[in-house]
Amino acid sequence: MSSPEDQAVAFKNDGNKAFAAHDWVTAIELYTKAIELNDKDPVFYSNRAQANIKSEAYGYAIADATKAIELKPDFVKAYFRRAIAYTAILKSRDALRDFQKVVSLNPADKDAKLKLEECKKIVRKVEFLAAIEVGDEPSAAEGLDLDSMVVEPEYDGARIENEMSLEFITDMLERFKNGKKIHKKYVYQIVIAVKKIVYDEATMVEMEIEDDAQLTVCGDTHGQYFDLMELFRLNGLPTEKHYYLFNGDFVDRGSWSTEIALLLYAYKWLRPKSFFINRGNHETDDMNRVYGFEGECKAKYNERVFKLFSESFSALPLATLIGKKYLVLHGGLFSDDKVTLDDIRKLNRHNQRQPGQAGLMMEMLWTDPQTEPGRGPSKRGVGMQFGPDVTKRFCDNNNLTAVIRSHEVRMEGYEEEHDGRCITVFSAPKYCDSTENKGAYINIGPDYKLDFHKFDAVPHPNIKPMAYAAQSGLMGMT
C-alpha cells in the first residue's frame, strides 16, 4: 500500500496533467488533495499558485506562493509566481521586491532580469502618474474641432454626418472583421456622443421589457471581437425590439478591444433606450494601463482616444435593474447587509471617476460569490466574497428574484449559484486563448424568464491576447 506522501505525489502529477489541459479548476482540486496528504512539500503550493494565477485567483496565488517560500526560503519559482500575482492586482512595489529576489537567487536568469526591468518601469510610471495627478483635469475633448476635421476623399468607409446610422454600423462591422479601422474623426464623434448619453443616465438604469421585445444580457467580452460576432450571428444583432445589455469588461486582454468598444458605443448612440452598457472593473484607468486597452488605443489611434474613452468609462452606469426583478451589475454584492437599491440610486458616480480601494463602487465592480455562508477575503486579493445567505438577504430586502453578474470565467459560460439567486454570465469563450471555457448569454422575454445559451469560440486572426499590453511579457497569459 502506498504511503500518504506517494499518494500526494500522484495527485500532484494528475494536477499537472489537468493544468497542461488548461483545466485550472481540476488542477487546483488535485493540488489541494496533494496538500491535504502532505502539507510540507513547497512544490504543491507553488503549483497550486500557478493554477490560481490562471484562474485569476491572485489573492489565493499570493497565499500559496508565500507558504511555499516559508517551507523553502530560496524557492525561485515561488517568488516568481508571487511577483506575477502581485503584478496582476497592481501591487507593483511588492512585485518588484519579489523579482529582485528572483534575480538575486538566480543571477544567470536573463528572463527574470528582463521582467525585473519591466517591473521597474511600471513602478516608475505609477509614481509619475500619481505625482502629476490633478483633480479637475480638462476634458480630452477640449480644443477638438470636429467640424474642421477633414475625412480624406480616399477613405473607403461609410461616413457619419450628425447622427449614428445603421449603414455606418453595418460598414463598421465589416471593416473591423477585415482588420480595418474607422477614421479617427468618427472615433471622436462616437465616444463624445456616447459619453454625454451615459453621463445623463442614472447610476442604476431601470428598464422594462415590452410585450413584443426581448433583452439579451452579455457578460465579459474582453476584446474578443470575433467571438462577439459569433454571439450576434447566433442570437441576432441589436434592434429596436431586441435589446442588449453588456455587463462590463468589454475591453482589455483581448486584442480587439477598441473594435468592441466602438461597436457597443455606436449601438448605444443609435439606440440609447434599447441598448445598455454597465461599467466593469476593466473600464478603469489602472486596469487599462496594465491589461492592454491603453496601448491598443495608442497603437490603433492615439493617446487622445484613450483619454476620451477613459472619461466615458467613468460616466457609465454601474448597474441595470430589469423589470424590478433582476439587478445586473459587474461584480457582486456588498460588505454591509443594509445596502439597498436606493443606496445604488443615490450613489453619485460622477464624484468618483475611479473605484478606489473601498466603498460601494469598488464592491459593485470587484466582489465575487462564495459557497460558504457569510463573507470572506477575496481570492483575487481585491474586494471580498459573499455567501448564499448574503445574496438571499439582499434579494429578499429588495424584492428581487436574483442578482445577475459577470466578472469571472465559468466553464459552461454561466452558472446559477446561491439557490439560483446569484447568476454569473461570461461571454468570452476560450478566454485569452488559454482556458477551455464556453461563452454564454441570457435571453429574457416579457415574462422575465431566463433563457440561457452557450456558444463556442471561433477562429480569429493570429494576434495574441495582451498584444498591446505595455508589459505583455511580464503578464504572460494571466
Which of helix, strand or coil describes residue 241? coil
Q: Do residues 348 and 263 touch, judged by C-beta distance below 8 A?
A: no
The three three-digit cell numbers of residue 39, written as one number: 502539507
Distance CA 323, CA 374 (A): 28
Q: Do residues 79 and 98 touch, judged by C-beta distance below 8 A?
A: yes
CB atoms within 10 A of CB 178: 8
C-alpha neighbours within 13 Å on the C-beta side of residue 175: 20
Buried b vs exposed e over 195-204: b needs ≥16 C-beta within 10 Å? bebbeebebb
First to last CA, the chain: 39
Q: Do residues 133 and 123 touch, judged by C-beta distance below 8 A?
A: no
CB atoms within 10 A of CB 174: 11
Distance CA 134, CA 121 (A): 22
The three three-digit cell numbers of residue 302, written as one number: 492615439
In order, the DSSP letters of 97-136 are HHHHHHHHH-TT-HHHHHHHHHHHHHHHHHHHHHHH--TT
CB atoms within 10 A of CB 473: 12
**282 annotated active-site:** yes
Single out the catalytic residue among 183, 222, 242, 282. 282
Check residue 220 and report its DSSP letter: B
Distance CA 81, CA 45 (A): 11
Which runs of consecutive H residues, i.e. helices, occur in 375-471? 388-397
The three three-digit cell numbers of residue 47, written as one number: 503549483
Distance CA 122, CA 116 (A): 10
The catalytic residue positions are 282
